[in-house]
Amino acid sequence: MRWLIFIGFYLIIDIYAFQVLRNFTRSNLVIIIYIFISVAVVGNFIYQWMQPSEGSVLSGARGYAFGFLLAVMLAKLLMTLFMLGEDIYRIGAGTVNKFSEDSFDMPSRRKFIGQLALGIAAIPFASVLYGMYQGRYNFRVLRYTLYFEDLPDAFDGYKLSQISDVHSGSFDNKDKIKYGVDLLNKQESDLVVFTGDLVNNIASEMEPWKEMFSSITAKDGVYSVLGNHDYGDYKNWSSQEEKSENLEKLKNTHAEMGWNLLLNEHRFIEKNGQRLALVGVENWGIGGFKKAGDLEAAADGLSAKDFKVLLSHDPSHWQEMVKNDDKNFHLTLSGHTHGMQFGIEIPGWFRWSPVQYRYKNWAGIYEEFGRYINVNRGFGYLAFPGRVGIWPEISVIELKKGSKPA
């Protein structure tokens, strides 16, 4: 039934989009090419979806099939909206003629509307294709400076780098990934943290990338936590034992890369006789996501006076539990949202992504009650094999003692 609904919706927008094309050109060759592309794109998507899939539901050929379908459907949907608006205008004009001249004379479609529709529809079409072939590896370093009155003096100017949501099962270009890893190392931060989703589902997805990610270094080490995808919850396993073994293998992968995986626990970073508490929880998220995170256990023995940086994959954890906690978690580092890998960001002016209707904290720095969260936009990608407007991110955060300058 879902396939019938999908095909029916696709046919409706395809028919309307075809009217735009016919309004623009009568060339039989152009029409044949249009029909061929329409059939090929939706046919390939259905074919790929029907194939047995290991690991992620949308990766590899299936992911690309989804990407091409998304590009075509967004373009056709915009053309449909333009043509529908034009038809509403034509019906309205014909109705006015009926009452004023006693005849229903509906104007023909205006050619410039079709030309305008094609021009505007080309923007999302080209953007999605760019996102698939360039945007997904368009790594950006985003720098933030955060001020805290109670930051230990020894950590004034302390710099940490954060990456999140590697999703190694989606990678297909070692040179591009090496560029991203090298870019992270070039920041020469005191500490590097990873905030979850190393794989899409299966621990073995990380095997081709372990050596590369093992090269990530920092003076005070690399620390990590698990994300919702790391537990293998989105794959059908032959047994619970097989699923548990997969999780253990993934945990061992962190250790093999030299990463310190925090499982509802904390470690102290010490400097000149002073310390900073690095707290790591397992995944905790609203909306049906795993709630393995135990904030109380992770912070056991810490006081409100200890300066704390919390690693928690899902930003909903901060909104629901962390920001109001009496133990005062100064800074939380999260990921999970990917910024939906699609949106518009004009620094200092405007930003929008569909994910903001699901998550209050979805990208960048937020502050409430003097407590901060950074939501990293992700290093990798999932499902849609690209990024449009929301680029892969390396966050670099400098901690400063005192008040933020006016």
pLDDT band at 405 (very low <50, low <70, confident <90, very high): confident
SS3 80: helix
Phi/psi for 357 (5° steps) reads -80, -10
DSSP 277-299: EEEE---B-SSS--B---HHHHT
| pLDDT for the residue 58 | 59
Mark 51-82 as b/e (b = at least 16 C-beta within 10 Å): eeeebbebbbebbbbbbbbbbbbbbbbbbbeb
Q: What is the tens place of the pLDDT at every residue in 159-181?
A: 999 999 999 999 999 999 999 99
177 and 309 in a single domain? The answer is yes
* pLDDT over threshold 90, residue 109: no
Best CA proximity match to 332, nearest among 138, 160, 108: 160
145 and 61 in a single domain? The answer is no
| pLDDT for the residue 105 | 61
Q: What is the tens place of the pLDDT at every residue in 266-308?
A: 999 999 999 999 999 999 999 999 999 999 999 999 999 999 9
Strand partners, 350: 346
pLDDT band at 90 (very low <50, low <70, confident <90, very high): confident
Angle at the Cα of 32 from the Cα atoms of 28 and 36, rounded to 5 degrees: 175
* pLDDT over threshold 60, residue 57: no
Average pLDDT over residues 376-388: 95
pLDDT band at 108 (very low <50, low <70, confident <90, very high): low
Could you tell me which residue, 252 or 92, shows the higher pLDDT?
A: 252
98 and 243 in a single domain? The answer is no
* pLDDT over threshold 60, residue 55: no
* pLDDT over threshold 80, residue 222: yes
363 and 287 in a single domain? The answer is yes
Last residue in a domain, options 75, 102, 133: 133
Residue 342 lies in a domain: yes
116 and 185 in a single domain? The answer is no
From 97-106, 283-292, 377-386, the region with the lowest mean pLDDT: 97-106
90 and 201 in a single domain? The answer is no
181 and 98 in a single domain? The answer is no
* pLDDT over threshold 90, residue 21: no
Rounded Cα–Cα distance for residues 88 and 113 (Å) = 13
From 115-124, 254-263, 318-327, 352-361, the region with the lowest mean pLDDT: 115-124
Q: Report in angstroms the alpha-carbon separations of 182 from 167, 176, 205, 261.
A: 18, 10, 21, 22
Tell me how many domains the chain contains. Answer: 2
* pLDDT over threshold 70, residue 215: yes
Last residue in a domain, options 89, 104, 133: 133
79 and 178 in a single domain? The answer is no
Above pLDDT 70, what percent of the chain?
95
Residue 171 lies in a domain: yes
Please, what is the average pLDDT of the chain? 91
First to last CA, the chain: 59
The residue range of the domain holding 252 is: 139-401
126 and 203 in a single domain? The answer is no
Rounded Cα–Cα distance for residues 50 and 367 (Å) = 45
pLDDT band at 351 (very low <50, low <70, confident <90, very high): very high
The count of C-alpha atoms lying within 13 angstroms of the C-alpha of 309, restricted to the half-sphere facing its C-beta, is: 31
> Which CATH number do you get for residue 223?
3.60.21.10
Average pLDDT over residues 72-80: 89
Last residue in a domain, options 133, 168, 188: 133
Residue 248 lies in a domain: yes
Q: What is the tens place of the pLDDT at every residue in 305-321?
A: 999 999 999 999 999 99
Residue 406 lies in a domain: no
Residue 160 lies in a domain: yes
161 and 250 in a single domain? The answer is yes
From 107-116, 215-224, 256-265, 388-397, the region with the lowest mean pLDDT: 107-116
Residue 268 lies in a domain: yes
Residue 241 lies in a domain: yes
* pLDDT over threshold 70, residue 229: yes
Residue 243 lies in a domain: yes
pLDDT band at 54 (very low <50, low <70, confident <90, very high): low
207 and 342 in a single domain? The answer is yes
| pLDDT for the residue 323 | 97
pLDDT band at 49 (very low <50, low <70, confident <90, very high): confident
| pLDDT for the residue 402 | 93
108 and 228 in a single domain? The answer is no
